[in-house]
Protein backbone atom coordinates (compact mmCIF):
# COMPACT_ATOMS: atom_id res chain seq x y z
CA UNK A 1 0.00 0.00 0.00
CA UNK A 2 2.94 2.30 0.76
CA UNK A 3 4.44 1.51 -2.64
CA UNK A 4 1.13 2.27 -4.32
CA UNK A 5 0.94 5.65 -2.58
CA UNK A 6 4.52 6.50 -3.54
CA UNK A 7 3.88 5.54 -7.16
CA UNK A 8 0.70 7.62 -7.21
CA UNK A 9 2.50 10.64 -5.76
CA UNK A 10 5.36 10.26 -8.25
CA UNK A 11 2.95 10.27 -11.20
CA UNK A 12 1.10 13.24 -9.74
CA UNK A 13 4.32 15.23 -9.37
CA UNK A 14 5.32 14.36 -12.92
CA UNK A 15 1.94 15.42 -14.27
CA UNK A 16 1.91 18.75 -12.49
CA UNK A 17 5.46 19.50 -13.63
CA UNK A 18 4.66 18.59 -17.22
CA UNK A 19 1.46 20.65 -17.51
CA UNK A 20 0.98 24.29 -16.45
CA UNK A 21 -1.33 25.46 -13.67
CA UNK A 22 -4.30 23.24 -12.86
CA UNK A 23 -4.42 21.54 -16.27
CA UNK A 24 -3.46 18.19 -14.79
CA UNK A 25 -6.20 18.50 -12.16
CA UNK A 26 -8.77 18.94 -14.93
CA UNK A 27 -7.46 15.80 -16.63
CA UNK A 28 -7.51 13.79 -13.39
CA UNK A 29 -11.16 14.68 -12.80
CA UNK A 30 -11.94 13.21 -16.23
CA UNK A 31 -10.63 9.97 -14.65
CA UNK A 32 -8.49 8.69 -17.52
CA UNK A 33 -7.85 5.50 -15.52
CA UNK A 34 -11.33 4.41 -16.69
CA UNK A 35 -10.70 5.19 -20.36
CA UNK A 36 -9.20 1.78 -21.26
CA UNK A 37 -12.29 0.06 -19.82
CA UNK A 38 -14.68 2.43 -21.57
CA UNK A 39 -12.71 2.18 -24.82
CA UNK A 40 -12.75 -1.61 -24.74
CA UNK A 41 -16.49 -1.78 -24.13
CA UNK A 42 -17.15 0.82 -26.83
CA UNK A 43 -15.03 -0.98 -29.42
CA UNK A 44 -16.88 -4.20 -28.68
CA UNK A 45 -19.86 -2.75 -30.57
CA UNK A 46 -17.65 -1.89 -33.55
CA UNK A 47 -16.12 -5.36 -33.78
CA UNK A 48 -19.54 -6.98 -33.42
CA UNK A 49 -20.76 -4.85 -36.33
CA UNK A 50 -17.94 -5.57 -38.79
CA UNK A 51 -16.60 -8.85 -37.40
CA UNK A 52 -13.04 -9.58 -36.35
CA UNK A 53 -11.89 -9.87 -39.96
CA UNK A 54 -13.54 -6.58 -40.85
CA UNK A 55 -11.90 -4.87 -37.89
CA UNK A 56 -8.46 -6.26 -38.80
CA UNK A 57 -8.88 -5.06 -42.37
CA UNK A 58 -9.86 -1.57 -41.18
CA UNK A 59 -13.49 -1.62 -42.26
CA UNK A 60 -15.15 1.64 -41.11
CA UNK A 61 -12.06 2.26 -38.97
CA UNK A 62 -12.17 6.04 -39.39
CA UNK A 63 -15.73 6.26 -38.11
CA UNK A 64 -14.95 3.83 -35.30
CA UNK A 65 -11.95 5.82 -34.06
CA UNK A 66 -13.88 9.08 -34.28
CA UNK A 67 -16.75 7.53 -32.32
CA UNK A 68 -14.28 6.15 -29.76
CA UNK A 69 -12.70 9.54 -29.08
CA UNK A 70 -16.04 11.32 -28.85
CA UNK A 71 -17.57 8.72 -26.55
CA UNK A 72 -14.62 8.12 -24.24
CA UNK A 73 -13.02 11.55 -23.92
CA UNK A 74 -15.86 14.01 -24.45
CA UNK A 75 -18.90 12.11 -23.18
CA UNK A 76 -17.39 9.90 -20.49
CA UNK A 77 -14.64 12.31 -19.46
CA UNK A 78 -17.07 15.22 -19.42
CA UNK A 79 -19.62 13.26 -17.41
CA UNK A 80 -17.12 12.19 -14.76
CA UNK A 81 -15.72 15.72 -14.45
CA UNK A 82 -19.30 16.96 -14.02
CA UNK A 83 -19.80 14.36 -11.29
CA UNK A 84 -16.77 15.72 -9.45
CA UNK A 85 -18.17 19.26 -9.51
CA UNK A 86 -21.28 18.33 -7.56
CA UNK A 87 -20.03 15.34 -5.55
CA UNK A 88 -17.13 17.20 -3.91
CA UNK A 89 -15.55 13.93 -2.81
CA UNK A 90 -12.55 14.03 -0.52
CA UNK A 91 -11.79 10.32 -0.26
CA UNK A 92 -11.01 7.82 -3.00
CA UNK A 93 -13.58 7.64 -5.78
CA UNK A 94 -13.99 5.32 -8.75
CA UNK A 95 -10.86 5.41 -10.95
CA UNK A 96 -9.35 8.29 -8.96
CA UNK A 97 -7.62 7.83 -5.61
CA UNK A 98 -7.04 10.95 -3.50
CA UNK A 99 -8.77 13.35 -5.91
CA UNK A 100 -7.12 16.77 -6.17
CA UNK A 101 -9.03 19.92 -5.11
CA UNK A 102 -11.60 20.99 -7.69
CA UNK A 103 -10.08 23.42 -10.20
CA UNK A 104 -11.93 26.72 -10.50
CA UNK A 105 -13.54 26.22 -13.90
CA UNK A 106 -14.27 22.49 -13.73
CA UNK A 107 -18.01 23.04 -14.29
CA UNK A 108 -17.36 25.11 -17.43
CA UNK A 109 -14.77 22.60 -18.60
CA UNK A 110 -17.06 19.59 -18.19
CA UNK A 111 -19.98 21.35 -19.88
CA UNK A 112 -17.75 22.33 -22.80
CA UNK A 113 -16.58 18.73 -23.23
CA UNK A 114 -20.16 17.45 -23.37
CA UNK A 115 -21.33 20.11 -25.82
CA UNK A 116 -18.31 19.75 -28.12
CA UNK A 117 -18.84 15.99 -28.10
CA UNK A 118 -22.43 16.43 -29.26
CA UNK A 119 -21.32 18.72 -32.08
CA UNK A 120 -18.70 16.19 -33.17
CA UNK A 121 -21.34 13.43 -33.00
CA UNK A 122 -23.12 15.10 -35.92
CA UNK A 123 -20.24 13.93 -38.14
CA UNK A 124 -21.37 10.32 -37.64
CA UNK A 125 -24.55 8.40 -38.57
CA UNK A 126 -27.89 9.22 -36.96
CA UNK A 127 -27.83 6.24 -34.59
CA UNK A 128 -24.65 7.52 -32.98
CA UNK A 129 -26.00 11.06 -32.78
CA UNK A 130 -29.11 9.85 -30.97
CA UNK A 131 -27.15 7.60 -28.59
CA UNK A 132 -24.87 10.51 -27.66
CA UNK A 133 -27.79 12.89 -27.16
CA UNK A 134 -29.56 10.41 -24.87
CA UNK A 135 -26.44 9.93 -22.76
CA UNK A 136 -25.77 13.69 -22.72
CA UNK A 137 -29.21 14.27 -21.21
CA UNK A 138 -28.76 11.38 -18.79
CA UNK A 139 -25.43 12.86 -17.65
CA UNK A 140 -27.12 16.13 -16.69
CA UNK A 141 -29.98 14.36 -14.93
CA UNK A 142 -27.53 12.09 -13.15
CA UNK A 143 -25.25 14.73 -11.65
CA UNK A 144 -26.77 18.20 -11.63
CA UNK A 145 -29.21 19.51 -8.98
CA UNK A 146 -32.15 19.74 -8.66
CA UNK A 147 -32.33 16.41 -10.51
CA UNK A 148 -29.17 14.66 -9.23
CA UNK A 149 -30.55 11.21 -9.91
CA UNK A 150 -27.21 9.84 -8.75
CA UNK A 151 -28.58 10.28 -5.23
CA UNK A 152 -31.94 8.66 -6.06
CA UNK A 153 -31.49 4.94 -5.58
CA UNK A 154 -32.96 2.93 -8.40
CA UNK A 155 -32.97 5.78 -10.91
CA UNK A 156 -29.18 6.01 -10.90
CA UNK A 157 -29.07 2.24 -11.42
CA UNK A 158 -31.35 2.38 -14.47
CA UNK A 159 -29.40 5.26 -16.01
CA UNK A 160 -26.09 3.43 -15.71
CA UNK A 161 -27.26 0.01 -16.81
CA UNK A 162 -28.62 1.43 -20.06
CA UNK A 163 -26.06 4.20 -20.62
CA UNK A 164 -22.89 2.23 -20.05
CA UNK A 165 -24.22 -1.28 -20.44
CA UNK A 166 -26.03 -1.19 -23.78
CA UNK A 167 -25.81 2.28 -25.33
CA UNK A 168 -22.01 2.41 -25.17
CA UNK A 169 -21.35 -0.59 -27.47
CA UNK A 170 -24.41 0.34 -29.56
CA UNK A 171 -22.85 3.75 -30.25
CA UNK A 172 -19.82 2.16 -31.91
CA UNK A 173 -22.08 -0.24 -33.82
CA UNK A 174 -24.18 2.72 -35.02
CA UNK A 175 -21.05 4.60 -36.10
CA UNK A 176 -20.54 1.99 -38.83
CA UNK A 177 -24.00 2.72 -40.27
CA UNK A 178 -24.96 -0.97 -40.14
CA UNK A 179 -28.60 -1.71 -39.16
CA UNK A 180 -28.95 -3.61 -35.88
CA UNK A 181 -30.40 -7.13 -36.26
CA UNK A 182 -32.31 -8.99 -33.53
CA UNK A 183 -29.54 -11.43 -32.62
CA UNK A 184 -26.86 -8.82 -32.14
CA UNK A 185 -29.43 -6.59 -30.45
CA UNK A 186 -29.79 -9.32 -27.82
CA UNK A 187 -26.02 -9.38 -27.36
CA UNK A 188 -25.95 -5.62 -26.74
CA UNK A 189 -29.02 -5.89 -24.51
CA UNK A 190 -27.28 -8.52 -22.36
CA UNK A 191 -24.80 -5.89 -21.20
CA UNK A 192 -27.67 -3.97 -19.59
CA UNK A 193 -28.29 -6.51 -16.80
CA UNK A 194 -24.56 -7.26 -16.69
CA UNK A 195 -23.87 -3.67 -15.76
CA UNK A 196 -26.90 -3.71 -13.47
CA UNK A 197 -24.99 -6.40 -11.59
CA UNK A 198 -21.70 -4.53 -11.65
CA UNK A 199 -23.09 -1.17 -10.54
CA UNK A 200 -23.82 -1.90 -6.86
CA UNK A 201 -20.40 -3.54 -6.61
CA UNK A 202 -18.82 -0.15 -7.39
CA UNK A 203 -20.50 1.36 -4.32
CA UNK A 204 -19.69 -1.19 -1.63
CA UNK A 205 -16.31 0.27 -0.70
CA UNK A 206 -17.80 3.78 -0.34
CA UNK A 207 -20.46 2.85 2.20
CA UNK A 208 -19.14 5.03 5.02
CA UNK A 209 -18.42 8.10 2.91
CA UNK A 210 -21.74 7.94 1.07
CA UNK A 211 -23.61 7.57 4.36
CA UNK A 212 -21.71 10.51 5.88
CA UNK A 213 -22.50 12.69 2.86
CA UNK A 214 -26.18 11.75 3.00
CA UNK A 215 -26.38 10.12 -0.44
CA UNK A 216 -28.91 7.29 -0.64
CA UNK A 217 -27.05 5.03 -3.03
CA UNK A 218 -28.53 1.80 -4.29
CA UNK A 219 -26.02 -0.29 -2.35
CA UNK A 220 -26.70 1.60 0.90
CA UNK A 221 -30.44 1.03 0.61
CA UNK A 222 -30.14 -2.60 -0.38
CA UNK A 223 -27.35 -3.43 2.03
CA UNK A 224 -24.21 -5.36 1.17
CA UNK A 225 -25.69 -8.84 1.14
CA UNK A 226 -28.70 -7.91 -0.99
CA UNK A 227 -26.49 -5.90 -3.35
CA UNK A 228 -24.37 -8.99 -3.94
CA UNK A 229 -27.45 -11.18 -4.43
CA UNK A 230 -28.81 -8.68 -6.98
CA UNK A 231 -25.42 -8.62 -8.72
CA UNK A 232 -25.41 -12.41 -8.99
CA UNK A 233 -28.99 -12.62 -10.30
CA UNK A 234 -28.39 -9.87 -12.88
CA UNK A 235 -25.22 -11.58 -14.06
CA UNK A 236 -27.05 -14.86 -14.60
CA UNK A 237 -29.82 -12.97 -16.46
CA UNK A 238 -27.20 -11.37 -18.73
CA UNK A 239 -25.81 -14.75 -19.68
CA UNK A 240 -29.35 -15.99 -20.27
CA UNK A 241 -29.77 -13.22 -22.87
CA UNK A 242 -26.45 -14.20 -24.45
CA UNK A 243 -27.76 -17.76 -24.63
CA UNK A 244 -30.88 -16.46 -26.39
CA UNK A 245 -28.62 -14.67 -28.87
CA UNK A 246 -26.79 -17.95 -29.49
CA UNK A 247 -30.05 -19.57 -30.54
CA UNK A 248 -31.20 -16.59 -32.63
CA UNK A 249 -27.91 -16.31 -34.53
CA UNK A 250 -27.54 -20.10 -34.74
CA UNK A 251 -24.08 -20.12 -33.23
CA UNK A 252 -22.57 -23.58 -32.95
CA UNK A 253 -20.36 -25.26 -30.39
CA UNK A 254 -18.12 -22.22 -29.92
CA UNK A 255 -20.98 -20.74 -27.88
CA UNK A 256 -19.73 -22.95 -25.04
CA UNK A 257 -16.92 -20.39 -24.65
CA UNK A 258 -19.40 -18.20 -22.78
CA UNK A 259 -19.17 -20.64 -19.87
CA UNK A 260 -15.69 -19.27 -19.11
CA UNK A 261 -16.71 -15.68 -18.28
CA UNK A 262 -19.76 -16.97 -16.40
CA UNK A 263 -17.45 -19.09 -14.25
CA UNK A 264 -15.16 -16.09 -13.67
CA UNK A 265 -18.09 -13.92 -12.57
CA UNK A 266 -19.30 -16.57 -10.15
CA UNK A 267 -15.77 -17.01 -8.79
CA UNK A 268 -15.76 -13.28 -7.96
CA UNK A 269 -19.32 -12.96 -6.66
CA UNK A 270 -19.95 -16.10 -4.61
CA UNK A 271 -16.95 -15.80 -2.22
CA UNK A 272 -17.74 -12.08 -1.86
CA UNK A 273 -21.31 -12.96 -0.91
CA UNK A 274 -20.11 -15.44 1.70
CA UNK A 275 -17.57 -13.22 3.51
CA UNK A 276 -18.78 -9.68 2.71
CA UNK A 277 -19.35 -8.84 6.39
CA UNK A 278 -15.67 -9.28 7.27
CA UNK A 279 -14.19 -7.44 4.27
CA UNK A 280 -12.60 -4.01 4.69
CA UNK A 281 -13.35 -1.11 2.32
CA UNK A 282 -10.04 -1.80 0.59
CA UNK A 283 -11.01 -5.43 0.05
CA UNK A 284 -14.39 -4.37 -1.34
CA UNK A 285 -12.52 -2.09 -3.73
CA UNK A 286 -10.35 -4.99 -4.85
CA UNK A 287 -13.52 -7.00 -5.39
CA UNK A 288 -14.81 -4.26 -7.67
CA UNK A 289 -11.66 -4.40 -9.78
CA UNK A 290 -11.92 -8.19 -9.98
CA UNK A 291 -15.46 -7.74 -11.28
CA UNK A 292 -14.12 -5.34 -13.90
CA UNK A 293 -11.63 -8.02 -14.93
CA UNK A 294 -14.54 -10.47 -15.25
CA UNK A 295 -16.24 -7.91 -17.49
CA UNK A 296 -13.14 -7.80 -19.71
CA UNK A 297 -13.13 -11.60 -19.99
CA UNK A 298 -16.80 -11.41 -20.97
CA UNK A 299 -16.05 -8.90 -23.74
CA UNK A 300 -13.35 -11.17 -25.19
CA UNK A 301 -15.59 -14.24 -25.06
CA UNK A 302 -18.50 -12.38 -26.67
CA UNK A 303 -16.25 -11.28 -29.54
CA UNK A 304 -14.98 -14.80 -30.04
CA UNK A 305 -18.49 -16.24 -30.11
CA UNK A 306 -20.37 -13.57 -32.04
CA UNK A 307 -17.75 -11.77 -34.17
CA UNK A 308 -15.54 -14.54 -35.60
Q: Could you tell me the pLDDT band of residue 2, with boundaries at 50, 70 and 90? A: very low
- Domain region containing 257: 181-308
What's the CA gap between 121 and 128, in Å, rounded?
7
171 or 160: which carries more pLDDT confidence? 171
Among 130, 163, 179, give the residue marking a domain's end.
179
DSSP letter at 93? B
Same domain, 159 and 32: yes
Question: Is 243 contained in some domain?
Answer: yes
Same domain, 74 and 173: yes
Same domain, 235 and 290: yes
pLDDT digits 0-9 by tens, 56-101: 999 999 999 999 999 999 999 999 999 888 877 666 666 777 788 8
Arithmetic mean of pLDDT, 11-29: 77
Contact criterion met (CB below 8 Å) for 231 and 295: no
216 or 179: which carries more pLDDT confidence? 179
What's the CA gap between 114 and 133, in Å, rounded?
10
pLDDT number for residue 15: 67
Same domain, 208 and 227: yes
Question: Is 13 contained in some domain?
Answer: no
276 or 95: which carries more pLDDT confidence? 276
Statement: residue 1 has pLDDT above 60: no
Q: What's the chain's average pLDDT?
A: 89
Arithmetic mean of pLDDT, 24-30: 89
Same domain, 161 and 270: no
Same domain, 47 and 130: yes
Same domain, 50 and 144: yes
Arithmetic mean of pLDDT, 256-273: 96
Domain total of the chain: 2
What's the CA gap between 151 and 170, in Å, rounded?
27
Pick from 44-48, 115-119, 133-137, 199-203: least confident: 199-203
Among 159, 179, 199, give the residue marking a domain's end.
179
Same domain, 135 and 209: no
pLDDT number for residue 94: 66
pLDDT digits 0-9 by tens, 176-192: 999 999 999 999 999 99
Question: Is 7 contained in some domain?
Answer: no
Same domain, 191 and 164: no
Same domain, 47 and 147: yes
What's the CA gap between 308 and 303, in Å, rounded?
7
What's the CA gap between 162 and 60, in Å, rounded?
25
Question: Is 76 contained in some domain?
Answer: yes
In this prediction the pTM is: 0.86
- Residue 73 makes CB contacts below 8 A (sequence gap 6+) with 30, 35, 113, 117
Name the E strands within the chain: none
The angle formed by the CA atoms of residues 170, 144 and 210, to the nearest 5 degrees, is 95
Give the CA radius of gyration of the chain. Answer: 19
Q: What is the CATH number of the domain that holds 222?
A: 1.20.120.1780
Among 157, 179, 201, give the residue marking a domain's end.
179
Question: Is 6 contained in some domain?
Answer: no
What's the CA gap between 42 and 35, in Å, rounded?
10
Q: Is the dihedral of CA 53, 56, 58, 64 positive or negative?
A: positive
pLDDT number for residue 153: 66
Contact criterion met (CB below 8 Å) for 141 and 166: no
Same domain, 198 and 159: no
Same domain, 186 and 306: yes
Amino acid sequence: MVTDARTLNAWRRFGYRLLPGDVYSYILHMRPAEWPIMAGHTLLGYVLAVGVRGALSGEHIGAALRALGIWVVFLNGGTLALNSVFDKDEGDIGYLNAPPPLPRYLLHFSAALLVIGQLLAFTLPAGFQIAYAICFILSILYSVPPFRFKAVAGVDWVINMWGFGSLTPYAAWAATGRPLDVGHGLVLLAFCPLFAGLYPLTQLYQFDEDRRRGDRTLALILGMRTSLVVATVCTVLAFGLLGWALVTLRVGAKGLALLLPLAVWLAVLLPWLVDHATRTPRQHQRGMYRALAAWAVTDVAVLYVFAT
